[in-house]
Amino acid sequence: MEKKVVEIFDISYEGAGVGKSDGQIVFVPKTLPSEKVEISVVKKNSNFLVGRLERILQESDKRTKPFCSYFQLCGGCDLQHCAYEEEIKLKKQILKKELEKSGYNGEIKTVLSDRRAGYRNKIKLEIKDEKIGYFRQKSHDFFEIKSCPIASEEINKILPDIKQFLVSNNFKFLRNVYIKQVGERLGICFLFDKNCKLDTKNVKKLDLFGDNSVYFAFGEVLESDRTKVFCVRGQPKLIKGLKGLKLEIDVSSFNQINDEIAEKLYDFIIQKTENKRVVNAYSGQGLLTFLISQKAKFVYGIEFQKSAHESAEKLKNLSEEFKFENICGKVEECLDVVLLRDVIDIIVLDPAREGCQKSVLNSILTSKIKQVIYVSCNFSTLVRDLKILQASYEIESVTMFDMFPCTANMETVVLMTRK
Ligand SMILES: C[S@@+](CC[C@H](N)C(=O)[O-])C[C@H]1O[C@@H](n2cnc3c(N)ncnc32)[C@H](O)[C@@H]1O
């Protein structure tokens, strides 16, 4: 493999160091600006090279020892090799560069995570020959893990039992195992190929999982209406405590993966929507809709996943005054109906990585909605959608919530006000 010496001077939006060699751009994951490194070229493209770090010749004074022994090979974490302060500085730099594409070069506020390790309440593991693991960076090359230090302690404790369970059963057509921690309990979900026929009566060693809930799902990804999920041990619903409330959580619906930051994000939105008439679009299991409703005048939650909508409907039992309505359907189909019925002051958009549908943005532009809060974990769709919304709205503030410490990912919240 070809070797090169590269001086790193920048960081890519994926968290890789960016350097130059013989005039060509080189991306080197797990390096930092100001470092001089020796690399092996692993990919050649007409515009750039990708290198694997072989040796650090000149080390950044911001470099620290990663706390995970798999860091060098794993595709999960990008920025565990620097101090937290530096990680945040680099993330802000990445976000600033992305937002400049929309013309924004104002302040970026930050909300930091108290923990860099143990913060994830959900992981998705790959399975190979009864072993559990992850893929190496940008590949489908499996490696086995015994722990994942960014996942919660409870999740890590169950990993040996999962391995034993897999060895005892030797399942065919098993794709992944998802582990979600909700409160004290875990939801452990084995995802099989959708065509797999499995007689659950023959499954061995389910008792390994004690009081936790175990599910078998059949489909391509867990969080989809097309996937069929069966609870095979424990309580079908998991109970989450939040702000003094006890909420029923569906294992197959979306949940924010960092409880501490999710709560701070919700607080931010609750404060901005106080005394207003609100649409909470892409509302998931309705938790945020319910919390907004406690201080707002009225909230409409719109979510298309049936199981998530059903969880949201259960929240009605917690409230005597109905200041919210959960609508089950696509935002692109339901938003216009709400806008015909009511005068909305502010809309919260928290779409999946694909961002908002063009028709949703057009409906907002032609409405009288005064403010938009856009929550995004994907810069490219965020910037694409901001550019459209800027026809009628201007960016009032940008806040980076550090939902995913040690990775280059972040939750960006943009508050926009009608011009
Ligand atoms: C990033 S999650 C946000 C969930 C919620 N805001 C929360 O904090 O839990 C996006 C949600 O949008 C839903 N979704 C995706 N596309 C949708 C669409 N076109 N219409 C309605 N809901 C959609 C997904 O099922 C998912 O629950």
pLDDT digits (tens, 9 = 90+) for 134-164: 999 989 999 999 999 999 999 999 999 999 9
Kindly state the tokens that stand for 284. Answer: 């998931």
Cα(399)–Cα(402) distance, integer angstroms: 10
* pLDDT tens, position by position, 376-390: 999 999 999 999 999
For residue 71, being part of any structural domain is answered with: no
The answer to whether residues 408 and 289 belong to one domain is yes
Same domain, 329 and 217: no
Question: Which residue ranges have their beta carbon within 6 Å of ligand 1?
Answer: 254, 256, 282-284, 288, 302-305, 308, 330-332, 350-352
Whether residue 390 sits in one domain with residue 265: yes
Instruction: From 283, 410, 411, 412, give the residue whose CB has the most ligand 1 atoms within 8 Å, as the site to mutate.
Output: 283
Ligand 1 mean position, distance from CA 109 (Å): 25
Q: How much is the pLDDT for 259?
A: 95
CATH number of the domain enclosing 389:
3.40.50.150
In-domain check, residue 146: yes
Cβ–Cβ < 8 Å for 260, 113: yes
Find the CATH number of the domain harbouring 7. 2.40.50.140
Position 62 pLDDT exceeds 80:
yes
Cβ atoms 163, 150 nearer than 8 A: no
Per-residue pLDDT band for 89 (boundaries 50, 70, 90) equals: very high
Six-digit token string for 370: 């005064």
Q: What percent of the chain has pLDDT over 70?
A: 100
| CA-closest candidate to residue 13, choices 314, 387, 377 | 377
Boundary of a domain, candidates 242, 266, 292: 242
Inform me whether the pLDDT recorded for 410 exceeds 90: yes
Q: For 247, which DSSP code?
A: E
Cα angle 213, 147, 257 (rounded to 5 degrees) comes to 55
Tokens of 246: 């006890």
For the chain, give the mean pLDDT.
95
The minimum-distance atom of ligand 1 relative to the CA of 330 is 20
Q: For residue 253, is it within any domain?
A: no
CB neighbour list of residue 89: distance below 8 Å, 6 or more residues apart: none
88 part of a folded domain: no
- How is residue 20 written in tokens? 């130059």
For residue 255, give the ligand 1 atom closest to its CA.
Answer: 9
CA of 193 relative to ligand 1 center, distance in Å: 24
Strand pairing of 324-328 and 174-182? unpaired
Range of the domain at 350: 100-114+258-418
CA separation for the pair 193, 61 (Å, rounded):
47
Of 66, 82, 90, 64, nearest to 9 (Cα)?
90
* Ligand 1 atom at shortest distance from the alpha carbon of 333: 20
Give the position, in ligand 1's atom list, of the atom nearest the Cα of 302: 21
Are residues 238 and 282 located together in one domain of the fold? Answer: no
With respect to residue 183, please indicate whether it lies within any of the assigned structural domains. yes
Distance from residue 286's CA to the centre of ligand 1 (Å) = 10
The residue to mutate among 304, 334, 353, having the most atoms of ligand 1 within 8 angstroms of its beta carbon, is 304
Q: Which atom of ligand 1 is nearest to the CA of 266?
A: 8
Provide the CATH number for the domain around residue 235.
Answer: 2.40.50.1070
Any bridge partners for residue 143, and if so which? 134
Ligand 1: distance of its center to the CA of 105 in Å? 29
Residue 147 vs residue 320, higher pLDDT: 147
Pocket test for ligand 1, best of 303, 328, 347 (most atoms within 8 A of CB): 303
Tell which one of 254, 334, 356, 410 to mutate to probe ligand 1, the residue whose CB is within 8 A of the most ligand atoms: 254
Does the pLDDT of residue 321 top 80, yes or no? no
The identity of residue 105, as a single letter, is N
Same domain? For 133 and 104 the reply is no
Task: Say which residues have a Cβ less than 8 Å from residue 90's Cβ, sequence separation at least 6.
Answer: 11, 15, 32, 33, 79, 82, 408
Q: How far does residue 283's CA lie from ligand 1's centre (Å)?
A: 5
The lowest-confidence range among 66-70, 234-238, 347-351, 365-369 is 234-238
Tell me the residue ranges of DSSP E strands in 76-225.
109-111, 122-128, 131-135, 142-144, 174-182, 185-192, 213-218
Nearest atom (ligand 1) to Cα of 360: 19
Q: How far apart are CA 386 and CA 106, in angstroms?
A: 15
HSE-up of residue 159 (Cα within 13 Å, Cβ side)? 23
- Asked if residue 275 and residue 217 are part of one domain, the reply reads no
The count of domains in the chain is 3
Q: Are residues 104 and 172 in the same domain?
A: no
| 79 contacts 90 by C-beta, under 8 angstroms | yes
Confidence of residue 246 (pLDDT cuts 50, 70, 90): confident
Tell which of 209, 242, 275 closes a domain: 242
Residue 78 counted as domain residue: no
Pull the structure tokens for residue 147. 């722990």
CA-nearest of 277, 288, 211 to 243 is: 288
d(CA 214, CA 77): 27
Secondary structure of residue 361 in the 3-state scheme: helix
Q: What is the DSSP letter of 193?
A: P
Q: What is the rounded average pLDDT of the residues 303-314?
A: 94
